[in-house]
Chains A and B, each alone.
Chain A
Amino acid sequence: MEFRLSYVLKLLFAWIQVIAIAQAKSSSGSKTLIVYDQRVTALEEYSVVFNSLKDRSFDIHYTAIGNDSTPIELFDGESRDYDKLIIFPTRSRHFNRQLPANKLLAFLNNGGDVLAMTSPDGVADNVRVFLNQLGIYPSPKNFVLKDYMHATDDDNSLLLSSSSILNEHVVTKGNYELKYKGSAALLDNSELIIPVLQAPRTSFTEDSQKANEKWTVGTQGYAAVSFQSLYNSRVSWVGSDSFFSDRSSSPNSQFVDELMKWTFSEKSVLKSVGGSHVHLSGLDYADVPYKINDQVVYKIGLSEWNGEFWVPFMADDVQLELRMIDPYYRITLVPNTSTDCVQYYSSGEINLPDHHGIFTFSVNYMRSGLSFVSERDVKAIRHLANDEYPRSWEITNSWVYLTAIYSVIGAWSIFVVLFLGIQGRKDVTVEKKNN
């Protein structure tokens, strides 16, 4: 009976998993809000992108920005209403009040993913301030990225080589050319920023209205930039809306697809199934607490989301740190066993340091383009108890000192005996003299 019940539960559980897999392609929700300005953007021009999102079972909602200034609510109370947010270039002055920059930051900090576009025609203040907070400085209104060496003949679009894509985890390199017409951004040197597409060496960003006003020169400009927060929520910025449009779909679709998949947490998403550490004998900390110089083994399992399933994540640079203020050890973990969805990494046997204290076993895997994995476990390592040290006679060096002590005692004993003996003989002679 019990067996049957557990069997049914297992089946039910498996069924729930299957449903979950079939519905969600993103690892973190799929309710998407698209914000666009009716005067700038015609949604019909983006059918390829939207259809691809719908194919991946995204639940898309639209909000048009017009002349009214009703606030756009991203939150219902404290819970997030949407998982993803796409912002098209906006010219409306009301947009700043409808969706202030701090709301966007709160959305990001709450785990929401944002794809923001600006263009020379529309750089909304709230989006600009939001991006500035992350360290991305898109060029202001009317500034256009130009390059006379890489321009197409028909509409002055730039041709950017996809072999110079900067992060393989976001978009894989290719051998095709991307068609780009828009603005460029300057970047802060924050480590959370992931440059994706750099402007060519011969390019510059110039104000199309005033002469000699430059925003970027050469490779300091970027056409597409991503950002991943410490909460693993993601932002991508592209300085062009036409980059996504159906007209440029044939050269750009692969790049756009991969960039959106990355931004909406459909790829390069890692998770840890937990780190654990045990004695070499297999007993864990709860059974026998660690003491100095004990041998232990650390193990951690990592999975990667491939858009449908969690699959084993392979890498050769996962490191364990054993730290008390400073790292005492920094050990590269080696791939060990793996299951259908998890790759386990093991440290092999570690000798705990010859130092007692409160130590942290931490794996902090932060790679640009992959989501951040952090596992920490704080454990005490005790010193030896007074009966756990080796006895003196087990240490060969101390045989010398033991011999010394016993020889002193022996010499002293002989001395005392002789001393008394001599005294006795003297007493006898004294007595004889007296007699």
Chain B
Amino acid sequence: MSKSSVSSVSAASASVASSSSKFAETFSAAWAAYRDQVGADPRLKLVDALLAFLVVVGVAQFGFVCAVRDSFPLNAFLAGFSACVGQFVLAVSLRMQWVESFAGIRKERAFMEFVGGSLVLHFVCLHFVN
């Protein structure tokens, strides 16, 4: 009786240990893969830095709206927030194409499309704010 209970406890602790170690393994593997990918191409690191910056700016604006509890110039908020979101989407699509080109679209073309799309986005946001 006591023996079986001890064994079951040890089994449970073993399974917990194994799942947490599995997560750590998976995480470290993913992190290593990411380091490999980014290390191979510094432009990806640059794209990721831009993405992180956009997230920070977007969260800051939303936090401001929550803090003052007023969305009064709503168009200005929408313009500022959607500038971040839109730029994020464009940057992610650039990153996807940079890692693995879409069929029939060269990386240079993808970059130029990113630049064109971004310019349109900035134009729209600047006009929407007023």
Binding site for B on A (CB under 8 A): 391-392, 395, 397-398, 400-402, 404-405, 407-409, 411-412, 415-416, 418-419, 422-423
Binding site for A on B (CB under 8 A): 42-43, 46-47, 50, 53-54, 57-58, 60-61, 64, 68, 70, 72-73, 75-77, 79-81, 83-84, 87, 111, 115, 118, 122, 125-126, 129-130
**Chain B proximity of A230: nearest CB distance (Å):** 48
User: Is A418 a contact partner of B46 (Cβ separation < 8 A)?
Assistant: yes
Residues of B contacting A400 in the complex (Cβ-Cβ under 8 angstroms):
61, 64, 80
Residues of B contacting A395 in the complex (Cβ-Cβ under 8 angstroms):
72-73, 76
User: Is B73 a contact partner of A422 (Cβ separation < 8 A)?
Assistant: no
Residues of A contacting B77 in the complex (Cβ-Cβ under 8 angstroms):
398, 401
10 A-B contacts (beta carbon < 8 Å): A392-B76, A397-B72, A398-B76, A401-B76, A404-B80, A404-B81, A405-B79, A415-B46, A415-B47, A416-B115
**Chain B proximity of A178: nearest CB distance (Å):** 68
User: Is B64 a contact partner of A419 (Cβ separation < 8 A)?
Assistant: no
Residues of B contacting A423 in the complex (Cβ-Cβ under 8 angstroms):
43
Scoring B46, B60, B64 by chain A CB atoms within 10 A of each residue's CB, the highest score goes to B46
User: Is A401 a contact partner of B50 (Cβ separation < 8 A)?
Assistant: no
Residues of A contacting B87 in the complex (Cβ-Cβ under 8 angstroms):
408, 412
Can you add 16 more A-B contacts, CB < 8 Å, to A392-B130, A401-B76, A408-B83? A392-B76, A395-B72, A397-B72, A400-B64, A401-B61, A401-B81, A402-B129, A404-B83, A405-B79, A405-B83, A405-B125, A408-B87, A409-B122, A418-B46, A419-B43, A422-B46
Residues of A contacting B68 in the complex (Cβ-Cβ under 8 angstroms):
397
Bound-state CA distance A401–B126 (Å) is 10
Chain A minimum-CB-distance residue to B64? A400
Chain B minimum-CB-distance residue to A399? B76
User: Is A405 a contact partner of B115 (Cβ separation < 8 A)?
Assistant: no
User: Is B57 a contact partner of A407 (Cβ separation < 8 A)?
Assistant: yes
User: Is A419 a contact partner of B53 (Cβ separation < 8 A)?
Assistant: no
User: Is B122 a contact partner of A412 (Cβ separation < 8 A)?
Assistant: yes
Residues of B contacting A401 in the complex (Cβ-Cβ under 8 angstroms):
61, 73, 76-77, 79-81, 129
Residues of A contacting B79 in the complex (Cβ-Cβ under 8 angstroms):
401, 405
Residues of A contacting B118 in the complex (Cβ-Cβ under 8 angstroms):
412
Residues of A contacting B54 in the complex (Cβ-Cβ under 8 angstroms):
408, 411
User: Is A404 a contact partner of B84 (Cβ separation < 8 A)?
Assistant: yes
**Chain A proximity of B93: nearest CB distance (Å):** 14
Given A397-B72, A400-B64, is A405 in contact with B126 using a C-beta cutoff of 8 Å? yes
Bound-state CA distance A405–B115 (Å) is 16
Bound-state CA distance A412–B57 (Å) is 13
Bound-state CA distance A415–B115 (Å) is 10
Given A401-B73, A419-B43, is A411 in contact with B50 using a C-beta cutoff of 8 Å? yes
| Partner among B46, B47, B73, B111 whose Cβ is within 8 Å of the Cβ of A392 | B73
Residues of B contacting A409 in the complex (Cβ-Cβ under 8 angstroms):
83, 122
**Chain B proximity of A56: nearest CB distance (Å):** 67
Residues of A contacting B129 in the complex (Cβ-Cβ under 8 angstroms):
392, 398, 401-402, 405
Residues of A contacting B73 in the complex (Cβ-Cβ under 8 angstroms):
392, 395, 397-398, 401
Closest 10 CB pairs of A and B: A401-B80, A398-B76, A404-B80, A398-B73, A401-B76, A408-B83, A415-B50, A405-B83, A392-B130, A395-B73
Chain A minimum-CB-distance residue to B63? A400
User: Is B53 a contact partner of A411 (Cβ separation < 8 A)?
Assistant: yes
Chain B minimum-CB-distance residue to A400? B64
**Chain B proximity of A292: nearest CB distance (Å):** 17
User: Is B76 a contact partner of A391 (Cβ separation < 8 A)?
Assistant: no
**Chain A proximity of B110: nearest CB distance (Å):** 12
Residues of B contacting A392 in the complex (Cβ-Cβ under 8 angstroms):
73, 75-76, 129-130
Residues of B contacting A422 in the complex (Cβ-Cβ under 8 angstroms):
42-43, 46
